[in-house]
Amino acid sequence: MGALHLHFAGAKNVGVDRTKLLGVIAHGAHYAGWPNAMAALRVLNQVWPEEE
């Protein structure tokens, strides 16, 4: 279990909206690179599927 997995699960547990996390990923993509953002999106979808 990686750090992103833990942070996303923690954010979900404290009530952070999923769309806010998507915005953070999109914003960070410009700095960290789109491949890293897509990896973060895959982790987010594992922790917090869109259907929830």
DSSP code per residue over 7-48: HHHHHHHTT--HHHHHHHHHHHHHHH-HHHHHHHHHHHHHHS
Domain range annotation of the chain = 3-47
Quick: pLDDT tens for 9-38.
999 999 999 999 999 999 999 999 999 999
| Position 1 confidence tier, pLDDT thresholds 50, 70, 90 | confident
Decide if pLDDT at 52 tops 80: no
pTM for the whole thing?
Answer: 0.87
Decide if pLDDT at 51 tops 80: no
Q: Is the dihedral of CA 14, 2, 45, 34 positive or negative?
A: positive
Decide if pLDDT at 4 tops 90: yes
Decide if pLDDT at 49 tops 70: yes
